[in-house]
Amino acid sequence: LERERKTKNTRLRAHLFDSTVLPALTYASETWSLRKQYERSLSVIERQVNHLAYEIPKNKYAHNPWNYAPEFLKVFGDVRVHVGGRAIFDCVLLGSPRPKVCWLFNDDKMRFSDVQVEDTADICRLTIPYVMPYHFGTFTVLCENEVGRAVTSAELLPL
């Protein structure tokens, strides 16, 4: 009877380990792996953005205590559109002094002549009135002032 009870306890422990601990360990391992992939891709983007930062002039002599780093109140998301359709990426931006804005396409300075860029008091907007296949890719807006920097990206995808 004692031996039978130990066997049942051993089976129960093995079952509980297989059904709860192993999936939790697998989930933790997968989460860690995804986090590392995200950190690697983020560090690549940060290096590319830091490389491009020289294009945005800085005023190194103003140290006003009322100044604050750029931040987004609203960011844009991925856009799916047909060729020939219209695409809009817009965000609401705060920062003092007013941040300089630079748009990137596929992590390089944007060179399209057929897009419209608006940069008003607090709204940054990029409009593609007639989407062509060469427009599909990642659009990034880099906003920087003397206090800091804010970056957001999204993809233009075919529908």
Rounded to 5 degrees, φ, ψ at 25 are -65, -40
Rounded to 5 degrees, φ, ψ at 26 are -60, -45
Please state, for a pLDDT cut of 90, what percent of the chain lies above it.
48
pLDDT at 2 over 70: no
Q: Look up residue 31 and give its two tokens.
A: 């989460």
Domain boundaries, given as residue ranges, for the chain: 1-55, 59-158
- Name the residue type at position 73: L
Please state, for a pLDDT cut of 70, what percent of the chain lies above it.
60
Q: Look up residue 2 and give its two tokens.
A: 């004692």
When pLDDT is averaged across residues 45-67 and rounded to a whole number, the result is: 58
Cα distance between residue 139 and residue 88, in whole Å: 11
Cα distance between residue 101 and residue 35, in whole Å: 29
Cα distance between residue 42 and residue 143, in whole Å: 17
Query: What is the pLDDT, as a whole number, of residue 64?
Result: 72
Distance (Å) of CA 62 to CA 30, 54, 67: 46, 18, 9
Q: How far from each other are the two terminal CA atoms of the chain, in whole angstroms? A: 68
Q: Are 101 and 94 in contact (CB under 8 A)?
A: no
Query: What is the pLDDT, as a whole number, of residue 54?
Result: 47
Taking only the tens place, the pLDDT of each residue in 8-47 is 555 655 555 555 554 555 555 555 555 666 666 655 556 6
Residue whose C-alpha is closest to residue 70's, from 153, 154, 141? 141
Query: What is the pLDDT, as a whole number, of residue 43?
Result: 58
Any idea which fold 59-158 has? Immunoglobulin-like (2.60.40)
